[in-house]
């Protein structure tokens, strides 16, 4: 990875987060990072902010890079593969962050022997706190998987899974930030209902969720044990937990993950 030239086909928010993470972690030098995008203004912004190389066409980028991050919108993937997919061959590693595009579809649109890794990141990568799952294509090597993992480790935490798990990853961590934002908003609304100023309530709610997640990751304790640590007999927390259980919050969250997973599967079948 140290000698790689990494090119971003599509320079949207997630690509921008990965570029920032790579540079912050000193994984690669600025001269080893390139990007192409239909928006000249976006390329100028990335060049000004990060000092990376930009390319006027996707084909130029593919010829320059050894690692390609496919970061275009899913509906644009067929056109991009038709335009420059054949230029990517055995010397290329292609890492796709395009939601719902199966590995088989990617491999069929790329040159013979091209190595593919499919990834499902999430939006907290923009804050260098992402959760990403990666899956190997048919030609991807152990070294390719290590390279992909180092890319996403620069913006959070990474797990390696078989591709058939990625719909569940989408339903959990891909869509999960939406569920968490809803919970944070509701938590803050509860504080406002009890008389707290809106800005204070939102700050406390956000920090409480952030701190609780960090405590869980740092200690690696089971969440039930950490819950019990703050739940005194006859106290305030158990009263609040009783209200959540009465409202079937646990079941509703499980159902949300299930429904989002099913929807991801449906979309993938349409795009496959």
As to burial, measured by CB atoms within 10 angstroms (0-12 exposed, 13-18 middle, 19+ buried), residue 162 is exposed
CA distance 128 to 47: 20
pLDDT at 9 (0 to 100): 97
Options 3.40.800.10, 3.40.50.720, 3.50.50.60, 3.20.20.70; CATH for 6-164 is 3.40.50.720
Q: Which residues does 122 contact at the CB level (< 8 Å), separation at least 6?
A: 130, 131, 132, 173, 174, 176, 177
Place of tokens 């320059």: 64
Report the pLDDT value the prediction gives residue 1, as an integer from 0 to 100. Answer: 65
Instruction: Estimate to the nearest angstrom the gap between the alpha carbon of 238 and the chain centroid.
Output: 34
Terminal Cα distance for the chain, rounded = 30
pLDDT, one tens digit per residue, over 193-247 is 999 999 999 999 999 999 999 999 999 999 999 999 999 999 999 999 999 999 9
Would 6-164 and 174-268 be classified into the same CATH topology? Answer: no
pLDDT tens digits, one per residue of 28-72: 889 999 999 999 999 999 999 999 999 999 999 999 999 999 999
Tokens for 230? 């703050």
| Domain definitions of the chain by residue range | 6-164, 174-268
* DSSP-assigned beta bridge partners for residue 68: 7, 94
DSSP result, 76-143: GHHHHHHHHGGG--TT-EEEE--TT--HHHHHHHS-TT-EEEEEE--GGGGGT-EEEEEEE-TT--HH
CATH class of the structural domain 174-268: mainly alpha
Does the pTM surpass 0.85? The reply is yes
CA–CA distances in Å: residue 206 to residues 56, 210, 272: 41, 6, 38
So what's the pLDDT on residue 3?
A: 78
Supply 260's token pair. Answer: 């989002």
Cβ atoms within 10 Å, residue 158? 20
pLDDT tens readout for residues 115-137: 999 999 999 999 999 999 999 99
């Amino acid at each position: 990875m140290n000698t790689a030239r990494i090119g971003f086909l599509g320079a949207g928010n997630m690509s921008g987060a990965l570029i920032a993470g790579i540079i912050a972690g000193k994984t690669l030098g600025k001269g080893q990072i390139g990007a192409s995008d239909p928006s000249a203004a976006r390329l100028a912004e990335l060049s000004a902010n990060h000092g990376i190389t930009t390319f006027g066409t996707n084909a130029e980028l593919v010829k320059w890079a050894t690692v390609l991050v496919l970061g275009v919108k899913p509906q644009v993937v067929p056109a991009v593969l038709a335009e420059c997919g054949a230029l990517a061959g055995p010397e290329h590693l292609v890492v796709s962050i395009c939601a719902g595009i199966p590995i088989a579809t990617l491999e069929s649109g790329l040159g013979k022997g091209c190595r593919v890794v499919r990834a499902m990141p999430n939006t907290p990568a923009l804050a260098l706190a992402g959760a990403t799952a990666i899956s190997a294509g048919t030609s991807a090597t152990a070294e390719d998987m290590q390279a992909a993992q180092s890319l996403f480790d620069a913006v959070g935490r990474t797990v390696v899974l078989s591709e058939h798990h990625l719909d569940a990853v989408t339903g959990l961590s891909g869509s999960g930030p939406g569920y968490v934002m809803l919970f944070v908003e509701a938590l803050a609304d509860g504080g406002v209902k009890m008389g707290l100023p809106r800005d204070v309530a939102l700050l406390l709610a956000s920090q409480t969720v952030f701190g609780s997640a960090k405590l869980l990751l740092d200690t690696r304790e089971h969440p039930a044990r950490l819950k019990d640590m703050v739940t005194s007999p006859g106290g305030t927390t158990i009263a609040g937990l009783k209200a959540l259980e009465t409202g079937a919050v646990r079941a509703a969250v499980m159902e949300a993950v299930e429904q989002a997973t099913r929807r991801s599967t449906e979309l993938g079948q349409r795009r496959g």
